[in-house]
Structure 1
Amino acid sequence: MSAGTWSEFELIARLTAGLPSREEVVVGIGDDCAVLDTGGPRLLLLTCDSQVEGVHFTLHTSSPQEIGRKALAINLSDIAAMGGEPRYALVSLHIPRRCPLEVLEGIYSGLRQEAAAAQTLIIGGNVSGTGAAETLAIDITLLGESERGRVLTRAGARVGDTIFVTGYPGDSAAGLHSLLYPDHPYPPTACERLRAVHRVPRPRLAEGRLLSQLGPQIVTALIDVSDGLSGDLGHICERSGVGASIEVARLPLSTELQALAATLGRDPLAWALHGGEDYELLFTVAPGYEERVQARFAAAGAAPITPIGQITEAARGLRLRWPDGREEPLSVQSWDHFTTPGQARPT
């Protein structure tokens, strides 16, 4: 039996089943970061992620600097998804012999730029060759911190909570489509912004900190949208033991996304619900606190946030609610490294 016969998350569960833990592990496998209590005044957050040529990026559709920035940005987003602050990064490069030196220098230029913007230090890592393989890969481990009692996880959503999302999910997927199929006459201005969103995502660090400051009694669950809104909402529901209903009419669709979809004759909802790689924050808010959270975001000049649905009983599963009151199951069609057709997901 090969790894490809399992879904990504089934494989993780199988490989990690029965791993030992210790009392200092506050949050282990199954969230955006692991959380450790080392006895100091703050809790330690740890995450790692990889970018693989031909799966996450190509040098034909992104510059080396953009690739470097994105490689760190997606790790920063994991820290944001726990309400934390990034501190230190370890960077490993797996380099094929054919790789030009200027590509590696460009990637490191992007890494430096993203690290400086997030006040994060690159303090080490590793460099290795790939032997006969011709694939470049970037692997990053990121360490962050959070105050005690302020870490937000996927596991706290409760029935009656309101579901919010930052920004405009689906923009990255639309930008990727325009990169993969560049010959279509897309609206130039819309296409330029959507491609920029995809090539260099913006980790919502300030927004994650704001949510953390509100605390887990108000912000009950938090995740970043990496695999797609439907799939990442499913992760919250699974960890929290709840269901969810999304109001189709409330989904925030950017004007650029709608313009691109119109030129292609496509439904923009498919990108918004299942596209992935937006690195927006998806979170739930306890009843009665919605206006307070919205006011805090507005006062801070943070990213726009939109209430898009409600947490329901687990038995209801994931559902879409249309403006006419009709409901239907929300199927998860988000990215999976082992079951998504056409494996490549180039940047």
Structure 2
Amino acid sequence: MSHDSHAAVVGWDLGGVHVKAARVEGGRVRAFVQAPCALWQGVDALDETLAGLPDWARGRALHAVTMTGELCDCFADRREGVGALTAWAVERLPGRVLVYGGRSGFLDPAAARAAATEVASANWHASAVLAARLVPDALLVDIGSTTADLIPLAGGRSVAAGYTDAERLETGELVYTGLVRTPVMALAHAAPFRGGLVRLAAEHFATTADLYRLLGALPDAADQQEAADGRGKSLPETRTRLARMIGRDRDEGSDEDWRRLAAYLAERQLRRLHDAAAQVLSRGVVPEGAPVIGCGVGLPLAEALAGRLGRPFLDLAALVEADDRAWLSACAPAMAVALLAAG
């Protein structure tokens, strides 16, 4: 899709907990940003986030929008969510607005509301289309704060078996596990601790952010969500949350004990991703020697998964023209819709 009326394209990924934006000019990513957004509290939360974004995000441009925020509790269903987020974009973003409809391509806002099932959570599709143009045969692994997408690419296009979230949960192409927000209780029923095997509490005491913070593998820029207990993010406070998962207090283990527990639970998360990748790759559509392309805040996890699969690893951000690549892959869908809309 070409556009003559605007020099810049701004891509948007309106998520349930983060808003991401990327500005493209001349086929090159010039700027990008991620900001927290409490969208589950209502669409007004988007206004608050927008007000804090850089001027380039709020200026006149061709605005290309994709979303996952339609799943938020504040909406009765995905159709209502798509309609509300589309209406917000039209009202708040100056210039022309196009909505990414996945298999249907870019849609005018009026058409987007009618095609809600195509628009809903199609952000993965944009990243896959972009990645397949750059590397025709690969496994795209996008690990975000909440979910992971594992998309097979072959012959220069996405060959995903599923499209909707429901379908992709069956095919292994969507895994509800992420670097920041996943409850620790979702990773294992029990874990080794000081020589014993301890069952985990089925309570939202700690998240994966706590694990990676203890392991020194959580970038500050990824750590934008409130902790499970609403308290701080110091290492002692983090250990306190993890200790609660096995019915203990922080002083009942050494710092090394808690680090070992965190490492085991992180390993369980990686195994789950490995199982999903094995399911996707078992279709035989991705050639054996093809690389893993990683993106998302969980980029190091994607790289670790590539190692397990015995495949070369590429960072999606390294494959595009950009002024600054550090942290760019975390905003992959926003970057993708901007580059696709720019043509």
Asked if TM exceeds 0.5, the reply is no
Decide which structure has greater strand share.
1
TM bin, normalised by shorter chain, reads: under 0.3
Higher helix share: 2
TM norm structure 1: 0.27
Give the TM-score normalised by structure 2. 0.28
